[in-house]
Chain A
């Protein structure tokens, strides 16, 4: 499998292949169900979950509504604390900045903390072209990198691999990258983790440059926060002489106190723990402790375009906890690769088409990668109404309309020759002819009625011109599907 998402087939085709893969489905089912159950318990421990969720939503919304103010504030406080701030309008610019910063250190290798922003911009590939080797140090990212593979889950990127495959990848590839796997390596998780520890330790101890993302940036104090489990983050953040953090501009919170909300909701939503093993915060540089030089690269890359969409901008509240993936009946069957993006699952279905535009077939099909069951909205710790945004984006695909691309307002034409409609129908048929997917969705749907979007699904509006379509929310989607499909023999 190639290391890039470019040229991916559209969601329905990729999903069709993925559901045939029984290993993948088994792994995914086990993983999502395990995390889902644990998460529910972790959340139930906090009697004020609803209030925390509402506060998280409001903090993020307020920040987004005044993002210019908080960005300038953050820049001031990071600079005052001894850091240097860079601004990157798109992926290319971010890659150029980071490459230049690494080159200025004279180093040709860097250690990396798992970061979706750097995956989004293809940083490793850009560095490689300039002769700089980037080592992923999160265990799952290491598995993905050694396996020349792509991540498939936000939190557990190698969820599609089982222990036997991991053993093989380690035995075959580690030697190419540094310390080889020990002879006679078995497939017990403890031994595999030990092999990774030894392999990576060699790299940590000599690394001069670390590259990270951040979970949060505090405008008031200039503090960055990284939340992790393994300690690879702490290694990358403290041992190198130079630290470069690439962070999306939406990751800001106004004040130090705001962290009290997210440090409660993020771990419980993501790993279902009261608190993740390690959280690191740093404010610029500290004499004698940690990197001597700190660079913050603020990344736009489609975020301001997303911000311009009054319905879609709520996607920027996302704190990347991955709870929505674990409850999604479509993700559970299709896996993360089918989404053709570093952001898989329900959040990927609304974030990727907004960050990248809906010009490609995969991006145009992503808003259809959902049964609109509403489970993702229920679990989201910042209350992103993913179904509402999905419906809104479907409307954009089918009807066109004004969108912002690279800061300019452009009018999007309706997808040509009913291509979008066909993509939609294929996606819908894929999900709706699989009773398991649908039943899971329906069960949740009946419990989550009240959170369903108030607007009519957009494509429904488009189709109703030529088909006899009832107002969709009044009738379960499945019934509608059965009826229209049986009545009309299905659309092609």
Chain B
């Protein structure tokens, strides 16, 4: 007997007490919890996102479409970044004002090569106000997962209010399970040493989020 059959057999014997016509999933799981917490205007939701991002030590900036290239150029210059990793579908105009070398992420580039780059700029799929979370889904303007992981500085651009939802349930509704997702709430952090929080162990130590509206 294969282990598959053995395990499934054990499961079935273990569940001998469960009647055939047991309550179906739809009725067994009551979803009377909230779809979002508290009533807010769209503007307040965006404010809450900014507040919660900052609470988790992300650096938050706000601008409009016209101001975006200037702001990004300023942020990269302030950090002294000269090489910037760019996902294939990033809006050409975003980095138009920045005096940096753009580096395309190629399938062949090794993690060690990515490790030598100064910054990465991406868009996002959705942002969750109640938790201060941005979610990347690997779309062309966000690139593969590793590009927002290896460089030490990540700038993520969120289009507000379109890309902002209030809550985790609303975020999951918008996301596609078939894509690899990365949920990011503040920079990498650890509290493993006497519960003192330290930012940045392996992911980017600095996360800047630009809210464009």
Contact = CB atoms under 8 A, between A and B. Distances in A.
Interface stretch (A102-110, A176-184, A273-281, A390-398): A273-281
Given A193-B200, A230-B190, A286-B138, 12 more contacts: A35-B195, A52-B33, A65-B22, A139-B192, A204-B111, A255-B25, A260-B172, A263-B172, A274-B52, A286-B179, A304-B10, A307-B14
A443 to B, nearest CB: 24
B89 to A, nearest CB: 13
B28 A279 contact: no
Interface in B34-75: 34, 37-38, 52, 56
A118 interface: no
Given A87-B4, A221-B178, A55 B33 contact: yes
A62 B29 contact: yes
A101 interface: no
A198 to B, nearest CB: 11
Interface of B: 2-4, 6-15, 17-18, 22-23, 25, 28-34, 37-38, 52, 56, 107, 110-112, 115, 128, 130-133, 138, 144-146, 149, 168-169, 172-173, 177-196, 198, 200-203
Contact of B201 (A48, A68, A139, A143): A139
A416 to B, nearest CB: 28
A234 B189 contact: no
Given A31-B195, A275-B131, A304-B10, A261 B22 contact: no
Contacts of A279: 181-183
Contacts of A201: 115, 202
Q: How large is the interface on A (under 10, 10 to 19, 20 to 34, 35 or more residues)?
A: 35 or more
Contacts of A451: none
A281 B131 contact: no
Contact of B188 (A156, A259, A278): A278
Interface string A106-138: 000000000000000000000000000000011
A275 B132 contact: yes
A61 B15 CA distance: 12
A417 B14 CA distance: 31
A279 B198 CA distance: 18
Nearest to B112: A205
B202 A256 contact: no
A235 interface: yes
Contacts of B18: 65-66
5 contacts: A46-B34, A46-B37, A66-B15, A282-B181, A288-B144
Given A231-B203, A249-B7, A279-B183, A48 B33 contact: yes
A139 B193 contact: yes
B14 A404 contact: yes
A329 interface: no
A81 interface: yes
Contact of A300 (B7, B32, B107, B128): B7
Given A229-B188, A238-B145, A259-B172, A162 B203 contact: no
Contacts of A168: none
A281 B169 CA distance: 16
Contacts of A48: 32-34, 37
B208 to A, nearest CB: 15
A290 B138 CA distance: 11
B137 to A, nearest CB: 10
Would you list the 6 A-B pairs with minimal beta carbon distance, nearest first?
Answer: A231-B203, A231-B202, A308-B14, A304-B10, A279-B183, A289-B144
Given A55-B33, A193-B200, A238-B145, A68 B179 contact: no
Contacts of B56: 273-274, 277
Given A230-B201, A279-B183, A289 B138 contact: yes
A84 interface: no
A280 B180 contact: yes
Contact of A277 (B13, B111, B187): B187
Contacts of B172: 256-257, 259-260, 263
B17 A278 contact: no
Contact of B168 (A89, A264, A281, A307): A264
A313 B10 CA distance: 14
A310 interface: yes
B107 A288 contact: yes
B195 A156 contact: yes
Nearest to A308: B14
Interface in A247-276: 249, 254-261, 263-264, 271, 273-276
Contact of B130 (A88, A163, A274, A281): A274
A94 to B, nearest CB: 10
A34 B191 CA distance: 12
B178 A277 contact: no
Contact of A234 (B52, B173, B202): B202
B107 A310 contact: no
Contacts of B201: 139, 193, 196-197, 230-232
B12 A205 contact: no
Nearest to A254: B25
Q: Which of B128, B133, B193 has the most CB of A within 10 A?
A: B193
A301 to B, nearest CB: 10
Contact of A290 (B10, B25, B145): B145
Contacts of A51: 30, 32-34
